[in-house]
Structure 1
């Protein structure tokens, strides 16, 4: 029996309490399942390089974006794994990314689930230097949005956050031009996955990974700045706050970083 592809939301029954009133009804929550990413290149069998918890949907984009952000190369193909030893429930939770050439570094195989990218948890100069070594070959040299437009960008992305509207549990990432034209939006339970998906959508569509602005619905953590620098975007706009390390990396990587962004306010850190 062929497995069913998991959907982005899960339907269930809930009991809602409002004061003394109790109401039982149907609700939807965001789906969260593991995705194992395998990597293959000429002369090498596919190997597991990462496992992350994600919201099903746009899995190929997530895998392509992750490989790109880790500096492993531009994917030439992405497919669900068809190994006979996979259980039925794993069929749509294992993806193989194929490269045309040997990657510049061979990532170690990881056995544990992660809530972020391989850059999560770094804290020192060596790690910042390692990220900068994987930055885009050509930094962004095009125009950047005005501060007035920066304040409006989260609001321009908001109508496309359909999973958030249905569940209240999804992060979003969106790519925009310097004049505010929307290029792509993706949602996921993990903010890092949302960024991988939106950049992966560009790569698999044959478009450049870089754009003028990357907008994220949460805070500007180090892993999001790392992905922005690796993709060569010009600015990262966050609804929430940055960290000290993310500000440091943005400055070193030439990334314009904005936090606390709302209609009436934004703060530029670089």
Structure 2
């Protein structure tokens, strides 16, 4: 049955997005649409996952600069990293929903990632099954708008300890990666939990960040499973109703 939309006085707030230009030493590397919270986290996570930086020491200075039509996330890199930049770059625009738009080489879209380090991370079936519900406590933007994704960091015995939200699932993951980087928290000590399906680029981002496990509420693509298998990453998906499916490297579940 058709239902009319709620009256303006009762309508939920809509998710926000803003143009974010990521620049390195004065050169624009990408312009992405993102939810305007936690943009320093977003910029650092994006820079790490796209190879603009390798670790926090590559960044000499960072600032967010507001412009009339958006926000510039401005990096000044150490000379050695500034010289190396350019091995992988993007065309200058990326819509919010896409994690591979603009890559100017098919090899980069299907890039191999370093194998994740196995630091004896183990999560029980109960911890994994309850991860999406635990993440819900960290989703105020979703509660208000019902229109954003989240990515959280699940640590053994501690539950979800950190999370970030964004209208784009890739952006939420980049925000989480950046938050971990800036906090000095090793991603190898926990699992990433996401509220979306799993595509290959999300697996690549998690592996490059260094987390050995990715937990998702929805379905992975075959390319994502293949990439997880090759990277040594435990991929768990379809987590709902107290159950889940393990698609690769199940020895970390127990």
Question: Do both proteins adopt the same fold according to a TM-score greater than 0.5, normalized to the shorter chain?
Answer: yes
Count matched residues: 238
Query: 1: CA distance between counterparts of 2:246 and 2:31?
Result: 34
| Contact 2:103 2:109 survives alignment (8 Å) | no
Q: Name the residue aligned to 2:31.
A: 51
Mind listing any 5+ residue stretches in structure 1 that lack a counterpart? Answer: 1-16, 41-45
Q: TM-score, normalised by structure 1?
A: 0.79
Larger Rg: 1
Name the SS for the 1:201 alignment partner: helix
| Contact 1:48 1:110 survives alignment (8 Å) | no
| Aligned counterpart for 1:78 among listed residues 34, 55, 62 | 62
Q: CA deviation at 1:156?
A: 0.7
Q: Work out whether 1:67 is the aligned partner of 2:51.
A: no
Q: CA deviation at 1:238?
A: 0.2
| Contact 1:36 1:50 survives alignment (8 Å) | yes
Q: CA deviation at 1:109?
A: 5.4
Q: Name the residue aligned to 2:21.
A: 36
Query: 2: CA distance between counterparts of 1:193 and 1:24?
Result: 29
Query: 2: CA distance between counterparts of 1:120 and 1:180?
Result: 38
Aligned residues: CA RMSD: 2.6
Name the SS for the 2:62 alignment partner: strand
Q: CA deviation at 1:118?
A: 4.3
Mind listing any 5+ residue stretches in structure 2 that lack a counterpart? Answer: 249-254
Q: CA deviation at 1:129?
A: 6.5
Query: 1: CA distance between counterparts of 2:236 and 2:105?
Result: 21
Structure-2 change in CA distance of 1:207 and 1:101 (3 Å): farther
Name the SS for the 1:96 alignment partner: strand
Residues 149-205 of structure 1, C-alpha deviation per residue, up to 9 Å, x if partnerless? 211101111111110000000100000112243221000000111111111011112
Residues 68-124 of structure 1, C-alpha deviation per residue, up to 9 Å, x if partnerless? 112332242321247xxxx5333xx11112322433441435222333334888997
Q: Which stretches of structure 1, 4 residues or longer, exceed 4 Å deviation after superposition?
A: 118-124, 126-129
Q: Name the residue aligned to 2:91.
A: 110
Q: CA deviation at 1:220?
A: 1.1
| Aligned counterpart for 1:211 among listed residues 166, 172, 189 | 189
Name the SS for the 2:230 alignment partner: helix
Q: CA deviation at 1:209?
A: 3.8
| Contact 1:140 1:232 survives alignment (8 Å) | no
